[in-house]
Structure 1
Amino acid sequence: MKKWFKQPLAYLVMLLPAVIGAFFVLGGVPGFSKLPTSTDQLRITIVDQDQTTVTKNITQGLKDNVPFKHVATTSNLSAAKSRLSKRTDALTVQLPAGFTKDVQAGKNPKLNFYVSDSNGLLQNSITRSAINSMQDKIAAQLTTAKTTGAMAQQMAPQIARKAGAQAQANAKKQAAKQGGRMNPAAAKRMQQKMQKQVQQVIAKQTRAQAQAAAQKMTANPAFHTYHLHQFGGNYQYQMGPMFLNMGFYLGLMISSIIMSLMFMGARFAMGRWRAFLASQLTGLLATVIGPLVTIGTLRCFIHFTGGVFVFLWGNEWLFGLGAFELTFSLALLLVGLPSFVIQLPLMVSQTIAGGAIIPRQAMNGFYQWLSYHTPMYQGVYLTYNAMYGGGNGSAYSTTLWLTIAIGLIVTTLVVAIGYRSKEPRGFAKWINFN
């Protein structure tokens, strides 16, 4: 028994669960510190294609009441849908042309929502909740006194024209009865009387028609939600990209640490540059073979075509290469096994920064920075793009290529500068190639 506890590995085994558990808490829990309030950073666009006083009033009411800080307005639906696809916007609300005419005619006006399903779990949940909330607000707003006043303002010119024409007709009849013998003073008084009557008629009819139009609405617009890049109805489709990339990244991280130990032992038997080339070739093969297995396994649960499989494999290969070069450079820089202290928290942090749960706009500064500069976010959203559709693929690919290039430069410099010893020491003795 004493011999057993003389081994340092026994104490390492006891400490490992505590250390790994602490790393998961440190790497993951802070990512939720600003929720749910940070979700107000998501952006929505209101597309007003009717451009009337009524719709402008509704647009302003939404901007004042929706739980988002960034609300844009436009009349260009295609541009708004493009921003939605590129994940710049989280939601688009369309007030189509003819909206006000339908209100005035007592019909239920059409109002459309557009969302992209090719996003993280929390964002999709927020947009569903926002749509329900906005439906209630819009329905209530159409029957408020403010909206009735907007309808009155919209209807007033048309009613004024009709009333004016009627007044002129009445004036002509009155003049005809007088036989053209009316003196100027009497004519002026009659004109003033007619103008006053016209104004009263306009005000009365405008108010009555606006109220009648609002009452006919019965607060029941015809809402419709259009889904861009729609996926299956269960959460396998939602969470598949996250687990696909997270598992592949973890596997590459562990492989990189093992490979750094192999490199340390192999460089004394075959030379450091040949050992470095061998490790790079092994990593490249791992990024080619790995996605074939992981995507094939995913396909057992989520249906997608062979074309999507190939497209997804290409994206996963690029993500894997970026993840390998990052983790291998850290492993060589931090002398193999000790790099675990940095690599594990970095991986856990990327599960938050990966965007499969929390949208980038709702992350705090550290995780948002990670989402731009580490592979996970790029891999997750390239997977969403391949499986369901979406934009910004070139930006994600560019980030991964930069990660690959920087990783290669770092590992080359580390091998050139740091690994010059002639005799194996420390971890270099663990794996013997002689």
Structure 2
Amino acid sequence: MNKWFKNPFAYLALLIPALIGGFFVLGGVPGFSKLPTSTDQLRITIVDQDKTAVTKSIRNGLKDNVPFKHVTISSNLSAAKSRLSDRTDAMTVQLPAGFTKDVEAGKNPKLNFYVSDSNGLLQNNVTRSVISAVQGKIATELTTARTTGAMAKQMAPQIAKQVAAKAQANAAKQQASAAKQGAQMNPAAAKQMQQKMQQQVKQTIAKQTQLQAQKAAQKLAATPDTHTTHLHKIGGNYQYQMGPMFLNMGFYLGLMIMSIILTLMFMGARYAMGKWLAFLMAQINGVLATVIGPLVTVSLLRCFIQFNGGTFMSLLGSEWLFGLGAFELSFSLALLLGGLPSFLIQLPLMVSQTIAGGAIIPRQAMNSFYQWLSYHTPMYQGVYMTFNSLYGGGNGSAYSTTLWLIVAVGLIITILAVAIGYRGKEPRGFSRWISFN
């Protein structure tokens, strides 16, 4: 027993579970600190193609009541769908042309929603709940006094025209009757009669307008006729939703562990073959892993998620690029920190990227630290390149450009680390763990 606990690896074995558990708490739990309130940072566009007082009233009511701070009013549905596909917006609500005519005719007006399913879990859940809330809000809005007033404003010109025509016809009849009887009205009496008639016309217009507006609004107690269009639709179960996260998270963890092993191999091999040849061999080893890994992981994913051969090849390409970025980042940290000690930095970084990766929380709802991490580490780019390959949507070139930058920066750091450091002539410390003699 004494011999066992004299070995430092016994204490390392005791320490690892505590360290890993602590890293998961420190790296993951803070990512949820701003939820659920931070989902108000998601964006929504209301497309008003009817452009009437009624739809203006409804869209203003929505703008004040949807759980999003960023609400854009537009009439261009195509541009709104493009922003939705690029993940700039979370949802689009369309008030189509003819909405007000349906309202005035007592019909259930058409209301269209557009969402993109090619997004993280929380965003998809939020949009589903918001659709239900918006349906109820518009149904209520259509019967409120504000909407009745808007409808009255909409109807007033037509009613005024009808009442004025009727009043003119009555005046003409009165004048014709007076002329027939030979009577002549003095100018003062005629002016007084005209003013009285105008006042009666105004009162009649106001009364009829209000009555017709209330009557039309009361017919709309039913829920609007809604339709939801899903862009980049995903499968019906959560395997499709969570597949991108686990595909990339597992691959990243494997590459991180591999980078530490390759660093230990490099530290031992440089005494036998020279540090630059050892560095080259480590790089070749890593690049080969980024090719072999996706062949296994994507093939296994296909056992659970249905996709065609073209998607398979697209996933292989995106996973290879993601793997290259993850490897170069991990290998640079491993070389800078002497191999195994880098685990203290790399594991928290990996855990933090499970939040910053966007598979659960959308980038807009993350706090500032995780948002920054999502822009500067590989996981977010890899997860959304996977979403794009599987379901479509998004600006893939932005993600691939970010990954290439990570590859370039990581490679520069590793070259500088090898050039400046690792000058010892005799194996010491971790260099003795793997010998090439």
- Distance in 2, Cα, partners of 1:163 & 1:402: 71
Aligned partner of 1:20 in structure 2 is 20
Aligned partner of 1:167 in structure 2 is 167
Aligned partner of 1:320 in structure 2 is 323
- Find the residue that maps to 1:412 and give its secondary structure: helix
- Find the residue that maps to 1:73 and give its secondary structure: strand
Q: Which amino acid aligns with 1:115?
A: V
1:229 aligned residue (208, 232, 243): 232
Decide whether the 8 Å contact of 2:328 with 2:406 is kept in 1.
yes
Report deviation, 1:197.
Answer: 1.6
Moved more, 186-195 or 363-372: 186-195
- Find the residue that maps to 2:108 and give its secondary structure: coil
Matched, 1:103 2:74: no
Report deviation, 1:184.
Answer: 1.8
- Distance in 2, Cα, partners of 1:200 & 1:7: 100
- Distance in 2, Cα, partners of 1:14 & 1:423: 31
Aligned partner of 2:213 in structure 1 is 210
2:281 aligned residue (278, 295, 307): 278
Matched, 1:74 2:77: no
- Find the residue that maps to 1:114 and give its secondary structure: strand
Aligned partner of 1:243 in structure 2 is 246
- Distance in 1, Cα, partners of 2:350 & 2:98: 52
- Distance in 2, Cα, partners of 1:102 & 1:395: 43
Matched, 1:158 2:158: yes
- Find the residue that maps to 2:219 and give its secondary structure: helix
* Structure 1 residues 110-129: aligned runs within 5 Å: 110-129=110-129
1:301 aligned residue (301, 304, 308): 304
Report deviation, 1:162.
Answer: 0.9
| Percent identity of equivalent pairs | 78
1:413 aligned residue (400, 416, 423): 416
Normalised TM-score (structure 1): 0.99
Report deviation, 1:386.
Answer: 0.3
Q: Which amino acid aligns with 2:359?
A: A
- Find the residue that maps to 2:111 and give its secondary structure: strand
- Distance in 1, Cα, partners of 2:221 & 2:55: 17
- Find the residue that maps to 1:217 and give its secondary structure: coil
Decide whether the 8 Å contact of 1:50 with 1:95 is kept in 2.
yes
Unaligned segments of structure 2, at least 5 residues: none
- Find the residue that maps to 1:357 and give its secondary structure: coil
- Distance in 1, Cα, partners of 2:242 & 2:223: 36
2:201 aligned residue (198, 211, 214): 198
Unaligned segments of structure 1, at least 5 residues: none
Decide whether the 8 Å contact of 1:140 with 1:219 is kept in 2.
no
Aligned partner of 1:42 in structure 2 is 42
Decide whether the 8 Å contact of 1:117 with 1:124 is kept in 2.
yes
Q: Which amino acid aligns with 2:323?
A: G
Q: What whole-Å deviation, never above 9, does each CA across 1:179-212 have from its counterpart, x for those lacking one?
A: 1733322221221122112111111110111011
Normalised TM-score (structure 2): 0.98
**How many residue pairs were aligned?**
434
Alpha carbon RMSD of aligned pairs, Å?
0.8
- Distance in 1, Cα, partners of 2:70 & 2:234: 27
Aligned partner of 1:261 in structure 2 is 264
Report deviation, 1:219.
Answer: 3.5
Aligned partner of 1:433 in structure 2 is 436
Report deviation, 1:220.
Answer: 1.9
1:344 aligned residue (342, 347, 360): 347
Decide whether the 8 Å contact of 2:118 with 2:388 is kept in 1.
yes
Decide whether the 8 Å contact of 2:28 with 2:351 is kept in 1.
yes
- Distance in 2, Cα, partners of 1:96 & 1:241: 35
* Structure 1 residues 335-374: aligned runs within 5 Å: 335-374=338-377
Q: Which amino acid aligns with 1:243?
A: F
- Distance in 1, Cα, partners of 2:279 & 2:15: 32
Decide whether the 8 Å contact of 1:46 with 1:74 is kept in 2.
yes
